[in-house]
Amino acid sequence: MSDFSEELIRSKTEDDQEESCVLSGTGMYFPWLQKHIDTVETGGKKEKDFAQTTSACLNRIQEALLKHQWPQAAGYMHSYFQILEDSDSHKRQAAPEIIWKLGSEILFYHPKSNMETFNTFADRMKNMGVMNYLKISLQHALYLLHHGMLEDANRNLSRAEMWRYGEKSSSQEVLINLIQAYKGLLQYYTWSKKKMELSNLDEDDYAYNTASQTMLNHSWKTSVNLGALIQTPGVWDPFVKSYVEMLEFYGDQDGAREVLTNYAYDEKFPSNPNAHVYLYNFLKREKAPREKLISVLKILYQIVPSHKLMLEFHRLLKKSEKKDHHKLGLEVLFGVLDFAGCTKNITAWKYLAKYLRQTLMGNHLAWVQEEWNSRKTWWPSFHFSSFWAKSDWKEDVALACEKALVAGILLGKGCRYFRYICKQDHQVLRKKIRRIRKSVKKHSIVNPGL
Amino acid sequence: MWKEPLKRREPCEPRQKEFKERCTQCAAVSWGLTDEGKYYCTSCHNVTERSKEVINTGAIPNTKIQAINRGLKRKRKLERGWDWYVCEGFQHILYQQVEALKTLGVGPELKNEVLHNFWKRYLQKSKQAYCKNPVCRRKVTVLEDNQSHSDWDSEPELLRDFSCPSFAESGTESQPDGLAQKPFPISKASQSETASICSGSLDGVEYSLRKEKGIVKMTVPRTLAFCYLSLLWQRETVTLSDLLRFVEEGHIPYINAFQHFPEEMKLYGRDKGIFAIESWPTYEDIYKKMIEIAKFLDLPRFPDITEDCYLHPNILCMKYLMEVNLPDEMNDLTCQVVKMTGVGEVDFLTFDPIAKMAKTVKYDVQAVAVIVVVLKLLFLLDDNLEWSLSNTAEKYNENNKEDKPRFDFRKWYQVMKKSIDEKKQEWEEARAKYLWKSEKPLYHSSIDRAVAFKRREMVVDLQKQFSTLVDSTPTVGRKKPSSFQFNWAEGDAARTCFHGHSLQGILQNKGQSLTTKNSLYWLSTQKFCRSYCKHVTTYEESNFSLSYQFIINLFAFLLRIKTSFLHEEVSLIEKRLFKTKYSKTKKKSSRSRKGRKY
């Protein structure tokens, strides 16, 4: 549950941040600019003191929230409500959303606030203006989830799901889908709890049947709820994941594959690395042919060249029969090590050292040079400085050895990193270092004559 | 002579005995029954939701029928209040304001004679009453019922019984004269049907469209101008800035004054534009309006402002010296500046609307400007001399603890800065928290009505919920009205009182007279604006010393005026004070040397 709720909360706070940015127009706050904009809006007419009161009030609420002064914020909020009676219909209509955002924040943290206050507030705000009902319902449900009130949250979502108001605008449709999907997620949660129970039961047990029956029931409802959202372009990772898990559990491999393929390949969806990861993992479970796995990872490689699956990708490419796959394998390794986060990844270095030797033995010097040319200006200081040599040796001798080998091959034996490591007199590693020296001598791409 | 402007139409039914609760508004137990069977308070006209049937029967099967019944009646009632004119609304506001002034201690003649006469004159001049064929009734004269109105036009005592406290005390209903009377019994139905589309008052639509040349139309801010004119006429001890501050502090009805209109005076549609106020009155604006009205009313020269009047600069200077915690000894200097500049002359001070250039002195601003000039004479306020004088005074005070302490500008600055910052913060907070909307929501038409009421209800609900979350520390209660904003008591370390401090060390004996030790002076304004913009000069804060900025800010805040406004007044005083030198210094550098003798 903890992961799950965290995810929900995160998505909520992210929403909030985004909204508050919209509030102030940009991320930055310029009081003078704001004033200027305001006068432009009012057509140069002098702003009424009422408007000054409300805008000063809003500023003070935001300030109080920033400083976590909840009672003060509530005090200003008390006065800010009058904006709902603003004669400027534009401001009046924008008000409920602002009030909801600020008010729910205050009630979330205020020491004297409780579940009941929050619920009353949410219910009141939901019914203020048509456009806010769904959004507030959803956020209300997330609040309840955060407090572990799963059933209340579910009830709330169901109520919101049933809500209709004439022609729903397209934005509202997404919201309805989202509400349904959250409902589905809640059902998934129950389902996976049931699954855990089931795994503890004996198959011959009488209870087993009923339990599996309710499970099936849940999964059916969930798939209905999740299905609609997943069709809409967007990033729906948790929903997709749970949906696929259920489909797989009931043996609907084709369904699962379709969902994942669509999620990864539909061009209307925003580029999402996780979509490819899910698909890859699914195909791997399915024991799909190597060719297919490679094609999935190829796309992931284009989006996130530093992804941890890249080493696995390299292994797949190495095993492939195609020549251009072998070349790509080298590229992938270099690509991984371009990223600062991967500099200490010993596996990557080991692979590179090994693969470099292999490539050079296979007479593909050109491939190596091609990769090296774009990196030779910055890799030496990025990876092979004497500082790194010292600190790598101190922290991880094995890593230092792998790197020294690579450095030697790419930069020749005159390179600082290589020299430093070779100079270290280490009893256990003496043999290894000798081996490194030997292979450097043999494979180095730097002309030994120079 | 004044009278609660409006009365109920129906004669009062015998007081009801069954209902014994206290009225929620005035706590009186004196209930009458409206024509719909609802209880209303005979002393404040608050109509309750309780109706007679409900109390008497209380039987459940009936309640539903009654509710429906009531609903229908209620709707009809809301559509049709009393027939009233816009000018009656303003009269009501003026009535409330003058009553408030009375409770603030202003003499009763202000209401009964001065304001009453001004208002009468206004109605006459604007052709709304006391004349042949008043504007607001021209269009409906055909429908007029002669019998009840034969004397309306010619009756000069329209407001004769204005001062009858309220009809509850007067007991009898519907006296045949006064604005309270229902003017057109016959035309009413057709009138209110058409009028109700756009306004609650009979002439709201027409009034908001009316644009007659040479006529000053009444507005809510102008009610304050009327109040101030009356105060000035009576030479009361209230300045314009005081008046506006009382408005701000809620002692004088202004914003939402209409919500105290009798229940039956319905306001909506155009009335909203006329009576709803969403801004604070500003000094400059009310000041201008006051002159405008005085001219429009063609008022004669006002009573003389002599040296014993509160508005005389000598007395006002003393008041403001006390207010800002400056030594009493400075009063001698202010009196001298007043004398030299001639701003204390009766002719200069007395307001004469008929004069060619009708202009009145901003008594409070001027007095404060005199103090600023004196401070400049004493301390130069160039961010240098005042501090070195402070050092000397501090040293002296340390060594001579038994003596009367010498005035230490730095100490004074520290005390004032702290106090004014606190006050300002309080003020800003109050402004940010001010609740503008009336309990009686205003709406554009009867269609909006339900929405407006629902919105109001929503806001009240939300406010109720959040009020429990507000800091439990008691918020500062409503301030008692006072012409002083600060209280300097002896013995409080943080709020040292400087009234008794001496100016020794800043003044020096020269022969028989005292002169300021400082012989320098700089003029606040080098050049006066000669264009038609009517500004005397501009005030670019950053061009001036920090001390000067502080002083100007301090006083401007006390009077709730713009800093530039005060700066202008200071410049004008200097112009008078250095009349001879001024033309020369204008050509010279920014700092003029000037020895001053007293």
For the ranges A248-252, B478-482, B502-506, B593-597, the lowest mean pLDDT is seen at: B593-597
By Cβ distance, the residue of A51, A76, A112 closest to B468 is: A112
Q: If you write DSSP's letter for every residue of A306-354 in order, what string do you get?
A: T-TTHHHHHHHHHHSS-HHHHHHHHHHHHHHHTSGGGTT-HHHHHHHHH
CA A99 to chain centre: 29
In this predicted structure, what is the pLDDT of residue A430? Answer: 76
Closest partner CB to A49 (pick from B279, B462, B467): B279
Could you report the per-residue pLDDT of B279-324, keeping only the tens digit for each?
999 999 999 999 999 999 999 999 999 999 999 999 999 999 999 9
> What is d(CA B291, CA B308) in angstroms, rounded to the nearest whole number?
24
Mean pLDDT of chain B: 76
B275, B469, B471, B472, best to mutate vs chain A, most A CBs in 10 Å: B469
Task: Provide mean pLDDT across the span B569-579.
Answer: 88
User: A156 versus B445: which is more confidently predicted?
Assistant: A156
Q: What pLDDT was estimated at residue B580?
A: 63
| B209 close to A (CB below 8 A) | no
Chain B CB contacts of A49 under 8 Å are 278-280, 431, 436
Is the Cβ of B461 closer than 8 Å to some Cβ of chain A?
yes
pLDDT at A395 over 80: yes
- The separation between the first and the last C-alpha atoms of chain B, rounded to the nearest angstrom, is 53
| Minimal CA separation from B240 to chain A, in Å | 20
Q: What is the mean pLDDT of residues B189-218?
A: 70
Local structure of B30: helix, strand or coil = coil
pLDDT digits (tens, 9 = 90+) for A8-21: 333 333 333 333 33
Q: Could you tell me if B590 and B522 are in contact, meaning their C-beta atoms sit under 8 angstroms apart?
A: yes
* Predicted pLDDT at B252: 93
Q: What percent of chain B has pLDDT over 70?
A: 68
Pairwise CB contact (< 8 Å): B279 & A120:
no
Percent of chain B residues past pLDDT 90, beyond the cut: 33
Point out the residue among B278, B463, B466 whose CB comes nearest to the CB of A48: B278
Per-residue pLDDT of B78-136, as tens digits, reads 556 778 888 889 999 999 999 999 999 898 888 888 999 999 999 988 888 777 666 65
More reliable by pLDDT, B439 or B13: B439
pLDDT for A192-239, tens place per residue?
Answer: 887 787 777 766 666 677 767 777 776 667 777 787 788 888 888 888
Chain A within 8 Å of B425 (Cβ-Cβ)?
A: no
Interface A–B counts its CB contacts (< 8 A) at: 87
Distance CA(A430)–CA(B429), nearest Å, equals 77
Taking Cα atoms as reference points, which of B440, B460, B53 lies closest to residue B263?
A: B440
Residue B147 reports pLDDT greater than 60: no
Question: Looking at residues A278-293, what average pLDDT do you find?
Answer: 90
Nearest chain B alpha carbon to A119? B465
What one-letter code names the amino acid at B250? G
Torsion angle of the four alpha carbons A259, A261, A266, A272, in this order, in degrees rounded to the nearest 10: 100
Question: Helix (H) and strand (E) counts for chain B?
Answer: 24, 9
Task: Report which DSSP code applies to B111.
Answer: I
The answer on pLDDT for B490 being more than 70 is: no
Give which of A82, A100, A121 to mutate to test B binding, by max B Cβ within 10 Å: A82
The helix (H) or strand (E) run that includes residue A221 is: helix A206-231
pLDDT of residue B59: 40
Please tell me the distance from the alpha carbon of residue A295 to that of residue A308, in angstroms, as a whole number.
Answer: 17
B219: CB partners within 8 A, 6+ apart? B274
Name the strand (E) or helix (H) holding B581: helix B579-587
pLDDT tens digits for range B28-86:
666 666 655 666 666 666 666 665 544 443 344 443 434 344 444 444 445 567 788 88
pLDDT band at B16 (very low <50, low <70, confident <90, very high): very low
The yes-or-no verdict on residue A412 having pLDDT over 60 is yes
B contacts of A103 (beta carbons < 8 Å): 462, 466
Average pLDDT over residues B314-335: 93
pLDDT for the residue numbered A422: 82
On the question of pLDDT at B336 being above 50, the answer is yes
Q: Write down the pLDDT at residue A65.
A: 93
Q: B372 to chain A nearest CA, in Å?
A: 30
Of the listed ranges A122-126, A441-445, B93-97, B247-251, the one predicted with least confidence: A441-445
Dihedral angle of Cα B433, B437, B438, B443, to the nearest 10 degrees: -170
More confident residue, B387 or B205: B387
pLDDT per residue over A160-193, tens digit each?
888 777 666 666 777 888 888 888 888 888 888 8
Read off the pLDDT band of A243 (50, 70, 90).
confident
Task: Please give the pLDDT value at position B561.
Answer: 94
Predicted confidence at residue B592, as pLDDT, reads 37
ipTM: 0.72
Q: Is the pLDDT of residue A24 over 60?
A: no
- CA angle A9/A57/B486 to nearest 5° reads 140
Residue B463 contacts A where some CB pair is shorter than 8 Å: yes
Q: What is the pLDDT of residues A42-62, one digit of tens each?
A: 444 567 889 999 999 999 999
pLDDT tens-digit map of A83-115: 988 888 888 888 898 999 999 999 999 988 888
